[in-house]
Chains A and B, each alone.
Chain A
Amino acid sequence: MGTIKNLAGGIKGLVEGLATTIKILFRKPVTEQYPEYKRPLPARSRAVIILTRDPDGEERCVACYLCSAVCPVSCISMQSAERADGRRYPRWFRINFARCIYCGFCEEACPTLAIQLTPHFETSRRDILKLVYEKEDLLVNHGGKNNEYNFYKYAGVAMVGEKGTHINEKKPVNLKSNMP
């Protein structure tokens, strides 16, 4: 009796499985056909790196080396230089995308929002040396994720005007008239 019950249970299991697969045979596949259909990626997905510009069109990077220091695979290298007005910039800036693991640490480390990761990921090349991007390949003409932010409005340049004339800076307190 037990054997027959077991057998019936087994056959029921097999038939249920077969019914499931035959049902799915007539269902539309869920696969997205990649080159024909490109899924819109979230703005914060991490792929190719860009160097962005200030709202006034100057490049944001101040060549502080924080990104190349934090990079776990050491794929970022640069050389800093200084303009006549004291503003720093990278003389050259190089990212080796053959090494980059797109971890986004550089973007987190960047104090000026200069280096940013974009959702664009289709960069494969036959020649591995073509994956080494120079500054002119990296630099773009917009502000990336934040078009308003301008680091140099707050810091990073030598003082030229009077104290208290800088943006968001309070007038210096006159110690002599500051008595209780």
Chain B
Amino acid sequence: MLLEWILGFVFLIVKLGIVLIVLLTVAAYLVWVERKLLARMQARYGPNRAWRYGLLQPLADLVKLVTKEDTVPEGANKGIFLLAPGVVGLMALLIFAVVPFGRGVSLWGRPVPLVVTDLNVGLLFVLALSSISVYGIALGGWASNSKFSLLGGIRGAAQMISYEVPLGLSLVPVVMLARSFSLVEIIDAQRGCPFILVQPVSFILFFIAALAEIKRIPFDLPEAENELGAGYHTEYSGMRFGLFFLGEYITMIILGSLIAAFFLGGWHGPLLPPFIWFLLKVGIIVFALIWFRATFPRIRFDQLMNIGWKVLIPIALLNILITGALVLGTS
């Protein structure tokens, strides 16, 4: 009995370790992919000095960030200043705990679900953690004792709180159709037909709201380089800046996985193995994010608020009503 328990525990730790290492490596290489793709979309080469095609660039960046001095600005609230990047990085890593990345396999007669933990309220967990990461940005911006950081933090807080509403509302129809909050069950409910075909409006709403939530380019007002220096992380240096950066790229992967899980049918797909399908779907979404970054200009702050409150939320509510009526009518 005890042996069984210890074996299970070891299995869990090993799985956690593998997921963590793979996630961090993929996030590091996502930086390389993004720089490379952005460069090619602007007719440049991008990083190509560190080994072939600049493939060791993430390593070089890591060495640079770790060896840099960790400065704390004068007058900063030191405790909060030092903690804020951790919040962003940690929340990003924690969200991935509920993201399923493949159908369960069995190793040595032991079932191994390819998800860190299959919470029955996984969807709520995701929304809750993405709300907490606002703290990292708002507090990091406030604690730096700098005007630019403060402005970035305020913008970040306002933007992320506004866009959490349509983010949550756009997922209600998905929950209605899947009849579950668990991400594994939501994916299982899309075995026949991914929800993007049933709920295209919901998909578009979620995509836009999530873009704002992860502060990617059409909505990157909190870090607007040409207005605010670097926004909320202006005063950060070294690995603390690296943590903000890492959090940003992990959230990109998470957004890809969540869209894959909620709308594109997760690991379901013909011919190819489930895990490959999952990677493919995440890859497409991440490519789209980079593509948008290369293409779109940043929107104005009043436009941001207008889109959030006057367009996305009414459409999301209407979508919930119509879906609800249809679900009631057909069942």
Contact size class for B? 10 to 19
A83 CB–B CB distance under 8 Å: no
Q: How far is the CA of A24 from the CA of B37 in the complex (A)?
A: 10
Give the interface SS of chain A, mostly helix, strand, loop or mixed: helix
Find chain A residues with CB under 8 A from B42 CB: 24
Which residue from B45, B48, B291 sits with its C-beta under 8 Å from A21?
B291
Q: Which of A29-37, A118-126, A163-171 contacts B (4 or more CB under 8 A)?
A: A29-37
Cα A25 to Cα B291 in complex, Å, equals 10
Residue A20 CB within 8 A of the other chain: yes
Chain B residues engaging chain A, CB cutoff 8 angstroms: 37, 39-45, 48, 291-292, 294-296
Contacting residues, chain A, for B44 (C-beta < 8 A): 29-31
Query: In the bound complex, do residue B40 and residue A17 qualify as a contact, i.e. CB atoms below 8 Å apart?
Result: no
CB contacts (< 8 Å) of A20 on chain B: these are 295
Which residues between 69 and 85 of chain A lie within 8 Å of chain B, taking CB atoms? none
A25 x B296 contact (CB < 8 A): no
Q: Give CA–CA (A152, B37) in the complex, Å.
A: 62
Partner of B45, one of A17, A24, A31: A31
| Band of interface residues on A | 10 to 19
Interface membership of A18, Cβ < 8 A = yes
Contact B43 A17 (CB under 8 A): no
Q: B48 contacts which chain A residues (CB < 8 A)? A: 33
Q: Tell me, yes or no, whether A14 is within 8 Å of chain B by CB.
A: yes
How far apart sit A21 and B37, CA to CA, in the bound complex (Å)? 10
Sample of 20 A–B contacts (CB below 8 Å): A18-B291, A18-B292, A18-B295, A20-B295, A21-B41, A21-B291, A22-B291, A24-B41, A25-B37, A25-B40, A25-B41, A27-B43, A29-B39, A29-B40, A29-B43, A30-B44, A31-B43, A31-B44, A33-B45, A33-B48
